[in-house]
Amino acid sequence: MEAPPDNDVLWARALRHSHQGSPALLGVSVNVRAGEILAVLGPRGAGKSTLLRCLSGRIVADDGEVWFNSAPLHTLPEAARDQVRRERFGWVGGDAQLVPELTAWENAALPLLLRGESHRAARTAAQEWLDRLDIGAEAGKRPGDLLQAQRQRVAVARALAGRPDVVFADEPTAPLHRADQALVLRTLASAARSHGITVVLATGDPEVTAHADRVMGLIDGRPGAPMPAQAGGPASSWPASV
Ligand SMILES: Nc1ncnc2c1ncn2[C@@H]1O[C@H](COP(=O)(O)OP(=O)(O)OP(=O)(O)O)[C@@H](O)[C@H]1O
């Protein structure tokens, strides 16, 4: 087994995965450096979600390797993999998936509370992130009393409050209007940069990739050539060839 380079926080090789016989990944290799924001760009059905779920240990690929900080995630027993996910990774999906009975701050604080941190420390951290995402005033409201864009910001706060090494963001702004998309992405990117958090962002929108350091194209479960992101505008068009 080839050892991954030390400065890659994530390193995956030759990932193949099918859902009920239908292929989603057909041999994808990717490396992500610590503190980097990597965008995975591709059309619907390209395999972006499947790739993020494999990289984050939510599923184990049918074939291939995923290493996190030089440890093989793909061979870890399920309980150990779950622990890595809980303690080292954050996740933001297109659907906020908040606990309806909990307030915004309690939802944002969940990773810390589940980890056994004190109520006071968890609340302080959650409030800081909610403030930063411009939703601090809503901290005491339950998800049902929040707008969709506000719920999505709470989900981003929850992903960041746990001080993860890596945040996986799967189309995190897809349900939002343009103005809210820009705010959420800007905040996610600047928070990640200021805290050295690595981000792997899946999107079908080339404009979203302007927030990334690097863009990887994905089409039909196969990678395109890596492309540098361009500051201040759409980072790239679809890969010319895969
Ligand atoms: N749970 C599942 N069961 C069956 N097929 C699935 C499942 N998840 C994904 N697929 C299929 O695998 C392929 C890749 O899907 P995936 O969701 O990874 O792509 P994607 O690029 O994230 O697309 P989208 O933006 O539509 O979610 C698609 O053909 C999809 O229909």
pLDDT digit string, tens, across residues 144-173: 999 988 999 999 999 999 899 999 999 988
Give, for ligand 1, the residue of 40, 50, 58 to mutate: max count of ligand atoms closer than 8 Å to Cβ: 50
Specify if 174 maps to a domain: yes
Q: How far is the CA of 17 from the centre of ligand 1 (A)?
A: 11
Pocket test for ligand 1, best of 17, 41, 48 (most atoms within 8 A of CB): 48
Ligand 1 centroid–CA 49 distance in Å is 7
- Report CA dihedral (208, 199, 130, 99) to the nearest 10 degrees: 100
For the segment 137-150, what is each residue's pLDDT rounded down to a tens digit? 999 999 999 998 89
pLDDT value of position 4: 66
More confident residue, 208 or 63: 63
- Residues paired with residue 222 on neighbouring β-strands, in sequence order: 219
User: What CATH number should be reported for the domain holding residue 123?
Assistant: 3.40.50.300
> What ipTM was assigned to the predicted interfaces of this complex?
0.94
Q: Is residue 2 part of a domain?
A: no
Q: Are 7 and 34 in contact (CB under 8 A)?
A: yes
Residue 25 domain-assigned (yes or no): yes
Q: Which amino acid is at 54?
A: C
The reply to whether 3 falls in a domain is no
Distance CA 14, CA 28 (A): 5
- Kindly give the number of the ligand 1 atom that is closest to the alpha carbon of 218: 21
Alpha carbon 3 to chain centroid, angstroms: 24
Give residue 183's domain range: 8-228
Residues in the chain: 242
Query: In ligand 1, which atom is closest to the CA atom of 50?
Result: 18
In a domain, 53, yes or no: yes
* Contact criterion met (CB below 8 Å) for 47 and 204: no
3-state secondary structure of 94: coil
Asked if residue 144 belongs to a domain, the reply is: yes
Whether 63 is covered by a domain: the verdict is yes
Strand partners, 11: 31, 67
- The terminus-to-terminus CA distance of the chain in angstroms comes to 26
Ligand 1 pocket, residue 44 CB under 6 Å: yes
- Are 218 and 40 contacting, i.e. CB atoms less than 8 angstroms apart? yes
53 CB within 6 A, ligand 1: no
Residue nearest to atom 17 of ligand 1 (CA): 49
pLDDT of the residue at 107: 97
Q: Is the pLDDT of residue 229 over 70?
A: no
* Ordered alpha helix ranges (H), the chain: 48-55, 78-88, 104-114, 119-132, 148-161, 178-195
- 78 contacts: CB under 8 Å, gap ≥ 6: none
**The predicted structure's pLDDT at residue 149:** 87
Number of domains composing the chain: 1
- Is 133 contained in some domain? yes
Quickly tell me which residue has 């779920």 as its tokens. Answer: 53
CA-proximal residue: ligand 1, atom 3 (nearest):
19
42 lines ligand 1 (CB under 6 A): yes
Closest Cα to atom 5 of ligand 1: 19
